[in-house]
A and B are shown apart, each in its own frame.
Chain A
Amino acid sequence: MAELESLFQGFAVAISPFNLLLMFIGVLLGVIIGVLPGLGGANGVAILLPLTFTMAQTPGGTTSAIILLSCIYWGALFGGAITSILFNIPGEPWSVATTFDGYPLAQKGRAGEALTAAFTSSFIGAFVAVMLITFLAPAMANFALQFGPPEYFSVYLLTFCAFVGMSKGQAVKTIVSMMIGFALAAVGLDTVTGQLRLTFGFTDLLKGFDFLIAVIGLFGIGEILLTLEEGLHFKGTRAKLNPRVVLDTWKELPRYWLTSLRASAVGCFMGIVPGGATPASFMSYGVAKRFSKDGDKFGTGMVEGVVAPETAAHAAGTSALLPMITLGVPGSPTAAVLLGGLLIWGLQPGPLLFVEQKDFVWGLIASMYLGNIAGLIVVLTCVPLFAAILRIPFSIIAPVILVICAIGAFTVHTSVSDVYLMLVFGVAGYVMRKLNYPLAPLVLALVLGDRAENSFRQSMIMSQGDMAILFSNALVGGLTTLALFLLFWPVLASLIKRIKGG
């Protein structure tokens, strides 16, 4: 067990009073950054990166620096869930799927329960991912190398297929919503041809439609408009403030062990590939809904519907650091910034980092364990506090939310036009909801449409237009088949039922 020995050395490096202090500071900052929509983990880490520069010059300083930055990342992963559950405003892209059941729970007065479930699942997801990193890092890194454009496309296809058909209501509305998402995702620069698309000469459209702006508008502003119409108060006002809510929820959680396990697997897979935390959360929610006994009740406030996306998002967010360390390929935008940090500090991510910078790598891995524990303690003690936010009168909290949303939208690209865009999305979100068009397919298409399109076209360039490339080896063939299976599962299931029923 050479890994265990290295890990304990890592703990020895990470557990100094200074590093522990940095850990708590990082997690706190991260939670705040995660709560503010728009100011994502990537921005937070990027802003603090130059500050760590001096820190990294001292002996052992690179470990302290990465502890601070990665703890901001963990904090942001935790924090994203808070506003999703309380106000239906995803603080981070990967917490969109958390709103589906988290917000209905809060509306039923069970905000504390939803928050506890979200935080605990996040912790479990991260823990599974760190274990994986500890023991299987080199093997996993080589697995990630298997992924070329066709493999990426099949993963995105799998995400879409896992998710399709899960929205209630008319199928045609789901398709319309998804197509709007694809259209919005196509705006801006096309990587494959290097041409601008659908910008109509507007400078503001050059950067395309950012997923975060759309989400803040569609969910956050849309929700406030709906609440305005329905009587100027939050439904969750009567959230009971039970200090024992954490313990009570913990008693309930072991029931969802299978969901947790599936979600961790999906998350780790998507993090290592690297597909990212956002697709992981959607895929996991879709899979959980498909396989749960209570699948029909998803979207009405099921704890299971919070457990699935949160576990997967955190597992993916954590395991995304693995391809960054071993391959120098970031699995998420935040990992990309951390990667830049390593280079600036004079470390070389890549296959040899494990050999040459043992202290650093194992210090980082140890800090993943400790940082997540620190994060869990910080957020769980604050659950009653967060839930109490819902007791603030709507007339006070709504303007505050509006301002925070506006700041968040501005922060994404430091651009004022994005604030107006957010308002337009807000009105669109309100109208869509009044007309019963589901928002989730739009959001999913917006976040993955661009990547799916690129990887598909790259595959077609590579194969000179031959679709057989999507079945050219066991990996890509298996993923594509699984995707098609999930897509046609509802048809298959009803067929099987009919045959069985005679």
Chain B
Amino acid sequence: MSTTVGNLARASALSIGALALAVMGGPALAWQPTKTVEFIVPAGSGGGADQMARLVDGIVKKYKLMDQPMVVINKSGGAGAEGFLYVKDAKGDPHKIIITLSNLFTTPLATGVPFNWKDLTPVSMLALDQFILWVNADTPYKTAQEYIAAVKKAGPNKMKMGGTGSKQEDQIITVALQKQTGTKFTYVPFKGGGAVNTQLAGKHIDSSVNNPIEGVANWRGGKVRPLCVFDEQRLIYKDKITETMSWSDIPTCKEAGVDVEYLMLRGIFMPGGVTDEQRDFYVQLLKKVRDTPEWKAFMEKGAFNQTALTGDEYKNWVAKAEQVHKDLMKEAGFLAK
């Protein structure tokens, strides 16, 4: 069977333009923040979500997009549960926003900590983060199929897949990959994606499913090799990253005969119980952020999928993604008892 997490973004991509026009044409906004806005990052400093939050903060400051100051606060405890509960408890407070990653779904499902995205107000999707199957550059595997064949040949639990954390996106992809190909990896959890890629470069693990931005440095340094991208379409970035390859030269895993898709949400939420006007202020703000050259450069650097939804489309996307995570985690036995 085909495991398709990434399909979610497909349907709505076309309507973004129309939506953006509608928002821009609206009247001057009535609501503005009246005090410092807290930008919560439910992950540690230096990670992917943190980088994006600090970039947004930098862009807002540079272009003076907001009169009130913004402050980025990391609340990473309990796989991000600390941050989510903080925003959940701030019901009706329009001066808090939170950036989410897949832990919006995986943390409550895996740990049983009581929160759900429905406790929050969806504001805007910023982008979707890609995942790529990487192996060490010294190994002979040139395609995903060759690698999977080698994993099969080695026997169960012989090949080591490294990933960030446990029962989170990396392990979910690994489980989906195993299910699709009938293989069995030994999954080794590490604290962060950068560490995982270094472990791969040092040959301590056999493969990883790092984000592009986590693997690009070692790829260019000739230490790791990308085999396929877990999206339904190839990456759109055609500039050469290494001597011979660009991001768009990496085949999709489906093309490579490993039909697994997964994209990670990088989106913004607010506490529940805020007014539409308050939400729209941030929708507008983030739209302006996404229009800056700095944001576009960052998207290209990290080879992001630039799908960005707002309003009901965003809400529907999140609802579908939650269901997909629930199904995958249930099958893998990751749900909290």
Residue of A nearest to B192 (CB): A336
Chain B 191-212, CB-CB to A under 8 Å as 1, else 0, gives 1001101110110110000000
B residues within 8 A CB of A207?
75-78, 82
Ranked 9 nearest A-B pairs via Cβ: A350-B217, A207-B77, A351-B221, A336-B46, A148-B204, A194-B166, A53-B58, A206-B78, A194-B167
A386 at the interface (CB under 8 A from B): no
Which one of A191, A340, A414 lies within 8 Å of B50 (CB-CB)? A340
Asked if A344 contacts B54 (CB within 8 A), the reply is yes
Asked if A147 contacts B202 (CB within 8 A), the reply is yes
Which one of B75, B77, B202, B216 lies within 8 Å of A350 (CB-CB)? B216
Chain A 468-493, CB-CB to B under 8 Å as 1, else 0, gives 00000000000000000000000000
Asked if B82 contacts A53 (CB within 8 A), the reply is no
Which one of A190, A340, A348, A461 lies within 8 Å of B301 (CB-CB)? A348
B residues within 8 A CB of A148?
199, 202, 204-205
B residues within 8 A CB of A42?
45
| Known contacts A46-B54, A346-B297; A454/B111 CB under 8 A | no
Residue of A nearest to B62 (CB): A54
Which one of A144, A196, A208, A352 lies within 8 Å of B221 (CB-CB)? A352
Residues of A within 8 A of B (CB): 42, 46, 49-51, 53-54, 57, 144-149, 188-196, 199, 203, 206-208, 327-330, 333, 336-337, 339-340, 343-344, 346, 348-353, 413-414, 454, 458, 461-462, 464
Chain B 55-84, CB-CB to A under 8 Å as 1, else 0, gives 101110110000000001111111101100
Interface segment, one of B2-10, B26-34, B182-190, B303-311: B182-190
Asked if B77 contacts A189 (CB within 8 A), the reply is yes
Asked if A462 contacts B188 (CB within 8 A), the reply is yes
> Smallest distance from the beta carbon of B143 to chain A beta carbons, Å?
24
A residues within 8 A CB of B78?
188-189, 196, 199, 206-207
Asked if B77 contacts A145 (CB within 8 A), the reply is no
B253 at the interface (CB under 8 A from A): no
Per the bound structure, the CA–CA distance linking A189 and B82 in Å amounts to 11
A residues within 8 A CB of B160?
462
Per the bound structure, the CA–CA distance linking A274 and B85 in Å amounts to 33
Per the bound structure, the CA–CA distance linking A190 and B77 in Å amounts to 11
Other A-B pairs, 16, CB within 8 Å; known A206-B82, A343-B213: A50-B58, A148-B199, A149-B204, A194-B110, A194-B111, A203-B85, A327-B201, A328-B194, A328-B198, A329-B195, A337-B46, A340-B45, A340-B46, A352-B221, A462-B186, A464-B186
B168 at the interface (CB under 8 A from A): yes
Residue of A nearest to B157 (CB): A464
B155 at the interface (CB under 8 A from A): no
Which one of B75, B187, B213 lies within 8 Å of A413 (CB-CB)? B75
Which one of A49, A50, A192, A351 lies within 8 Å of B218 (CB-CB)? A351
> Smallest distance from the beta carbon of A275 to chain B beta carbons, Å?
13
A-B contact pairs, 18 of them (CB 8 A): A50-B54, A53-B58, A53-B59, A54-B61, A191-B165, A194-B79, A194-B166, A195-B111, A203-B81, A203-B85, A207-B78, A329-B198, A340-B46, A340-B47, A352-B217, A413-B75, A461-B187, A461-B188
> Smallest distance from the beta carbon of B183 to chain A beta carbons, Å?
17
Asked if B46 contacts A344 (CB within 8 A), the reply is no
Asked if B79 contacts A344 (CB within 8 A), the reply is no
Asked if A50 contacts B57 (CB within 8 A), the reply is yes
Asked if B77 contacts A206 (CB within 8 A), the reply is yes
B residues within 8 A CB of A327?
198, 201, 217-218
Per the bound structure, the CA–CA distance linking A414 and B85 in Å amounts to 14
B residues within 8 A CB of A340?
45-47, 50-51, 54
Asked if A50 contacts B45 (CB within 8 A), the reply is no
Per the bound structure, the CA–CA distance linking A42 and B54 in Å amounts to 14
> Smallest distance from the beta carbon of B168 to chain A beta carbons, Å?
7
Which one of A57, A194, A413 lies within 8 Å of B168 (CB-CB)? A194
| Known contacts A53-B62, A328-B217, A337-B45; A206/B204 CB under 8 A | no
Which one of B55, B77, B166, B220 lies within 8 Å of A191 (CB-CB)? B166
Per the bound structure, the CA–CA distance linking A146 and B195 in Å amounts to 13
B residues within 8 A CB of A349?
217
Within residues 277 to 297 of chain B, which ones have a CB less than 8 A from any CB in chain A?
294, 297
B113 at the interface (CB under 8 A from A): yes
> Smallest distance from the beta carbon of B226 to chain A beta carbons, Å?
15
| Known contacts A206-B77, A327-B198; A333/B45 CB under 8 A | yes
Residue of A nearest to B216 (CB): A348
Per the bound structure, the CA–CA distance linking A193 and B205 in Å amounts to 18
Per the bound structure, the CA–CA distance linking A206 and B75 in Å amounts to 10
Asked if B201 contacts A346 (CB within 8 A), the reply is no
Chain B 14-52, CB-CB to A under 8 Å as 1, else 0, gives 000000000000000000000000000000111100110
> Smallest distance from the beta carbon of A66 to chain B beta carbons, Å?
15
B residues within 8 A CB of A203?
81-82, 85
B residues within 8 A CB of A53?
55, 58-59, 61-62, 294
Per the bound structure, the CA–CA distance linking A208 and B82 in Å amounts to 10
A residues within 8 A CB of B218?
327-328, 350-351
Per the bound structure, the CA–CA distance linking A206 and B89 in Å amounts to 15
Asked if A196 contacts B113 (CB within 8 A), the reply is yes
Per the bound structure, the CA–CA distance linking A42 and B47 in Å amounts to 13
Residue of B nearest to A414 (CB): B73
Per the bound structure, the CA–CA distance linking A57 and B221 in Å amounts to 26
Per the bound structure, the CA–CA distance linking A354 and B223 in Å amounts to 16
Asked if B54 contacts A351 (CB within 8 A), the reply is no
B residues within 8 A CB of A343?
51, 213, 301
> Smallest distance from the beta carbon of B202 to chain A beta carbons, Å?
4
A336, A343, A413, most chain B CB atoms within 10 A: A343
Per the bound structure, the CA–CA distance linking A330 and B197 in Å amounts to 12
Residue of B nearest to A206 (CB): B78
> Smallest distance from the beta carbon of A168 to chain B beta carbons, Å?
35
B222 at the interface (CB under 8 A from A): yes
Per the bound structure, the CA–CA distance linking A54 and B301 in Å amounts to 18
B residues within 8 A CB of A352?
217, 220-221
B residues within 8 A CB of A193?
166-167
Asked if B113 contacts A51 (CB within 8 A), the reply is no
A residues within 8 A CB of B188?
149, 458, 461-462
Per the bound structure, the CA–CA distance linking A461 and B199 in Å amounts to 15
> Smallest distance from the beta carbon of B57 to chain A beta carbons, Å?
4
| Known contacts A207-B82, A343-B301; A351/B223 CB under 8 A | yes
